[in-house]
Amino acid sequence: MLGLIPGAWAATVTATIDRPAVSMGESVTLTITVEGSQVGRPNLPPIPNFTTGPSTGISTEIINGQIRQSFTYELYPTQPGDLVIPSLQLNLGGQAIATQPITVKVMKPGEAVPGATLPSSFVKLVVPKTNLYVGEVIQLQVQVYSQEGRINQYPQLPADSGFTIGKWEKPTEQRVAVSNQAFNLITFRVPLTAVKAGALTIGPVTQPIIVADRSRRADFFFGVPQKEVRLMAEKIAAVAVPPPPQNAPPTFAGAVGQYSVTAAASPTTVAVGDPITVRIQVTGRGWLDAITVPPQPQWREFKMYAPNARIDGADQNNTSGTKTFEIAVVPQSVSIKALPPFAFSYFDPDAAAYRTVTTPAIPLTITPSTGGNMPLPQLSATNANAPKPMSDIAHIKVSPGVAMVSAPLIRQPWFIGLQFLAPALWLGLVLRRKRRESLANNPRLRRRREVQALVRNGIVQLHKAADENRPDEFFTRLFRTLQEQIGERLDVPATSVTEAVVDERLRPAGLGDSVCRALHELFQAGNLARYAPVQTSHELQALAATAEKTLRELQAWEVKR
Amino acid sequence: MIRWCAGVLFVLVLLSARAADVNTTFAAGNQAYEQGKFAEAAALYRAAITNGAATSGAWFNLGNAEFKVGNLGRAIAAYRTAEFATPRDAALRANLAFVRKKASGDHPQPGAISSGLRLLTANEWATAASAALAAFFAVLAIAEWRGVRGSRTSLVCLAAVCLLLVGVAATSFYETYMSRHGVVVAKQIAVRFGPLDDSQSAFQLSDGAEVDLLDATPEWWQVRDRQGRVGWARRADIAAVSP
């Protein structure tokens, strides 16, 4: 039963689908329409043979005072055939109302849908064969046919299908026509290697694709809304069998594919007991990662060491190219005349037969070992003092030792921050030098800075002299400070500044009347003090405040030039 | 304030009690080892490591105990873990080489660069690089302060040393914290083509074989041995080595 919020009575509920037949991988849109009642969005119960997609929509209309709500759901069929969406029970105001069952015909991918054209997007899986051998590499193609939309993800394959899945190659794109309709065909390729015998499955494959959502209105700012649709391709059954154990050559070590082999040895003239490096190159198609050096019965007169291997010129999945083994072999007898042929067997899955390729024998010149029958040399005095080989491990530690550090310093914020201290210091000093150089090249700026400092200090001293009632010092400093500030503003020597400058230079240059008046007052107070020096601390403080205000205004004033 | 001080004191007491407990477990492991109870000693060392005493000494002694029990792979894994903290410990190096020689599995032969990297821990390399950078900028700052120009050749040499140390520190960090390694801890394991029990065996590895860990599923590691062979091994058979 669908959970609905009842809103009214005498309501009707209908369920419809957008089309009666679809292909596998396509969705069918189920619309539940409720008329005559306002309800919340119903929660769709699980529907057999369908999965519910992420996109749902709601629309509400009021026609002639009657409310009609439509809820849409994207349903993806999980198998082909005639599938039934069963009757869905809705509870409206305590009254159970059932929708009618709906039959949907689901066609296999690529099959024509009755009464419909091809879907606008579908996916096909293509494999070259389905009867495989364990260890055989096949290339899976995922072909995405699309008339619209864009793809921003690789196809999704189940991981536990009995195959090792390689890395996806860069997809190719082309235009093709299918049933007289044009499609973009995007082909993804990935190698699969059967790693398990028995019945296996390839896929199912899911391919997300972004398409225009036509069930929603276009937005003025963002255009046509988009939605993600998951296209699905059915799984393909495959069978893997191990290479037949009968007739397997002794030099078969599990290689499946088509290969050729070359061998080289160096040096070819050695003493008994000296190593020869043999380079074996196996070139061809197959799972190169899985190729190992098979046992070589003919090399019994050589001591073989474990080979080193590398793969060259291969694709990103190592399914074609050259695998090179370097093996150190040590001749054990002077009677050896050649390195016997190297035999490499593989199972050719196309021919369903074992193949053995051999390299020619490599002539060798083996000389007797210089130390073979000679007595071991006596240890010299130095050798006698050399440490003897260990016969046991060093004893346990008595103390726990240092703690293991799990967090690297490089990830510690404080450590990262520390790295910026020295560069910041250096940068600061560089900036300081640049500033000094800038001042040195600009005498007016330098003078301005100096006068600013002088005025700053002068104001402090004026207040101090006023507080301590020292009128002589007060007026001397006041006069000098005014001279310096006015001289700097007018770009004239400070000593040339007198009260006359106020009217002759400052006022014509645009200094305000109030400041000019204040300057006159200050200059005259200074003149008066020479003849009537008795001033109270209170008077001096008032003059200091006026001087400070006037000097600030002078500093803020720019001469009109 | 008094409450806060009391809380701090309580936490310190708890921490010291826990440290004492862990040290006791370590000492008990040493006692069991001296009595020849190697399996018991290994269990005690593991308990000490799990409970907060993940120290180089605990890992070293665990390696010794595992070796005495006959678990060569587990011993190598423990020594290699201890190596992250004390790479210059001569006893550790000797024991690791000794156990590797005893193990039938393959083991890496470090080259000159790798050996050089292992002279210091990743954090020591980072500190050295940091100090070199600080010295470089300090020299620049002093020259700036005194208003003198330093020798261009000296500065280039110093910058080259800084870059080299930063490169080495980055490599050491990658080797220690980004690349993953493991050791086979079962007597003999089949490495399979795929992460499935049904998958065909690609090759065999024996106890103590050291591998690179390339990929993982919840139950399997994708491993690459020293011959470059790649396959999947059960997680239970591989001990991952990490600092």
pLDDT digits (tens, 9 = 90+) for A189-220: 988 888 888 888 888 888 888 887 766 666 65
The answer to whether residue A177 scores a pLDDT higher than 80 is no
The answer to whether residue A436 scores a pLDDT higher than 60 is yes
The interface pTM score, or ipTM, of the predicted complex is 0.76
Q: Which pLDDT band holds residue B181 (cuts at 50, 70, 90)?
A: very high
Residue A321 CA: distances (Å) to CA of A141, A225, A346, A355, B17: 21, 47, 16, 19, 62
Cα(A409)–Cα(A411) distance, integer angstroms: 5
Q: What is the pLDDT of residue B16?
A: 55
Q: Which pLDDT band holds residue A15 (cuts at 50, 70, 90)?
A: confident
The answer to whether residue A20 scores a pLDDT higher than 70 is yes
Q: What is the pLDDT of residue A375?
A: 38
B171 touches chain A (CB under 8 A): no
Q: Which pLDDT band holds residue A383 (cuts at 50, 70, 90)?
A: very low
By the 10 Å C-beta count (0-12 exposed, 13-18 middle, 19+ buried), B156 is classed as exposed
Q: Residue A345: helix, strand or coil by DSSP?
A: strand
Residue B162 to chain A, least CA–CA distance (Å): 13
Across A226-230, A390-394, A482-486, the highest mean pLDDT is recorded for A482-486
Q: What is the pLDDT of residue B161?
A: 92
The answer to whether residue A415 scores a pLDDT higher than 80 is yes
Span A62-102, pLDDT tens digits: 777 777 788 888 888 888 888 989 888 877 767 778 888 88
The answer to whether residue B108 scores a pLDDT higher than 60 is no
List CB contacts (< 8 A) between B30 and chain A. Answer: 396, 398
A402 touches chain B (CB under 8 A): yes
Which residues on adjacent β-strands are paired with residue A72? Answer: A31, A57
Q: What is the pLDDT of residue B237?
A: 94
Measured in degrees and rounded to the nearest 5, phi and psi for residue A194 equal -70, 125
- Find the closest chain B residue to A163 by CA distance: B194
- Find the closest chain B residue to A430 by CA distance: B144
Of A311, A402, A422, the CB nearest to B137: A422
The pTM for the full model equals: 0.46
Percent of chain B predicted with pLDDT > 70:
88
The answer to whether residue A381 scores a pLDDT higher than 50 is no
Q: What is the pLDDT of residue A371?
A: 45
- Find the closest chain A residue to B82 by CA distance: A404
Which element (helix H / strand E) includes A49? none
The answer to whether residue A376 scores a pLDDT higher than 50 is no
Taking CB atoms and an 8 Å limit, are B230 and A289 in contact across chains? yes
Span A250-282, pLDDT tens digits: 888 888 999 999 998 888 888 877 778 888 999
Percent of chain A predicted with pLDDT > 70:
88
- Between positions 237 and 276 of A, the ones with CB within 8 A of B are 242, 254
Cβ atoms B74, B66 nearer than 8 A:
yes
Q: Residue A162: helix, strand or coil by DSSP?
A: coil
Q: What is the pLDDT of residue A5?
A: 42
Q: What is the pLDDT of residue A8?
A: 43
Q: Which pLDDT band holds residue A174 (cuts at 50, 70, 90)?
A: confident
- Between positions 198 and 237 of A, the ones with CB within 8 A of B are 198
List CB contacts (< 8 A) between A399 and chain B. Answer: 57
Both tokens assigned to A253? 């070590």
Closest Cα to residue B240, out of B184, B175, B173? B184
**What integer best gives the mean pLDDT of chain A?**
82
Tokens 């201290």 sit at which residue?
A421
Cα(B177)–Cα(A296) distance, integer angstroms: 41
Least confident of A159-173, A382-396, A461-475, B47-61: A382-396
B10 touches chain A (CB under 8 A): no
Residue B223 to chain A, least CA–CA distance (Å): 12
Which element (helix H / strand E) includes B32? helix B2-34
Q: What is the pLDDT of residue A42?
A: 77
Q: What is the pLDDT of residue B5?
A: 60
CB burial string A122-135: b at 16+ within 10 A, e below = bbbbeeeeeebbbb
The answer to whether residue A115 scores a pLDDT higher than 50 is yes
Q: Which pLDDT band holds residue A105 (cuts at 50, 70, 90)?
A: confident
Least confident of A528-532, B29-33, B205-209: A528-532
Q: What is the pLDDT of residue A7?
A: 44
- Find the closest chain B residue to A198 by CA distance: B198
The answer to whether residue A379 scores a pLDDT higher than 60 is no
**Distance between alpha carbon B97 and the CA centroid of its chain, in Å?**
15
Taking CB atoms and an 8 Å limit, are B198 and A198 in contact across chains? yes
Strand-strand pairing, A269-271 and A365-367 = parallel
Per the rule left: phi > 0, alpha: psi between -120 and 50, beta: everything else, B144 is alpha
The answer to whether residue A3 scores a pLDDT higher than 50 is no
- Between positions 128 and 157 of B, the ones with CB within 8 A of A are 130, 133-134, 136-138, 140-141, 144-145, 147
Please give the average per-residue pLDDT across B122-146, as a whole number. 90
Q: Which pLDDT band holds residue A374 (cuts at 50, 70, 90)?
A: very low
Span A134-170, pLDDT tens digits: 888 888 989 888 888 788 888 888 877 788 888 888 8
Span A294-303, pLDDT tens digits: 888 888 888 8
Cβ atoms A522, A492 nearer than 8 A:
no
By the 10 Å C-beta count (0-12 exposed, 13-18 middle, 19+ buried), A173 is classed as exposed
- Find the closest chain A residue to B171 by CA distance: A410
Q: Which pLDDT band holds residue A367 (cuts at 50, 70, 90)?
A: confident
Of B48, B64, B199, the CB nearest to A196: B199
Measured in degrees and rounded to the nearest 5, phi and psi for residue B52 equal 115, -5
Which residues are within 8 A (CB) of A67 and not within 5 positions of it... i.e. 6 or more apart? A35, A36, A37, A38, A60, A61
Taking CB atoms and an 8 Å limit, are A429 and B145 in contact across chains? yes
List CB contacts (< 8 A) between B91 and chain A. Answer: 394-395, 397
Q: Which pLDDT band holds residue A113 (cuts at 50, 70, 90)?
A: low
Q: Which pLDDT band holds residue B132 (cuts at 50, 70, 90)?
A: very high
**Distance between alpha carbon B58 and the CA centroid of its chain, in Å?**
13
A405 or B176, higher pLDDT: B176
The answer to whether residue B85 scores a pLDDT higher than 70 is yes
Tokens 């026509």 sit at which residue?
A177
The answer to whether residue A4 scores a pLDDT higher than 50 is no
Taking CB atoms and an 8 Å limit, are A393 and B99 in contact across chains? yes
Measured in degrees and rounded to the nearest 5, phi and psi for residue A397 equal -85, 145
Q: What is the pLDDT of residue A117?
A: 59
Q: What is the pLDDT of residue A179?
A: 62
Taking CB atoms and an 8 Å limit, are B145 and A408 in contact across chains? no
Span A469-511, pLDDT tens digits: 888 889 889 999 999 999 998 888 888 888 888 888 888 888 8
Taking CB atoms and an 8 Å limit, are B198 and A399 in contact across chains? no
Taking CB atoms and an 8 Å limit, are B227 and A307 in contact across chains? yes
CB burial string A396-435: b at 16+ within 10 A, e below = bbeebbeebbeebbbeeeeeeeebeebeebbeebeeeeee
The answer to whether residue B208 scores a pLDDT higher than 70 is yes
The answer to whether residue B14 scores a pLDDT higher than 70 is no
A491 or B5, higher pLDDT: A491
Length of chain A: 561
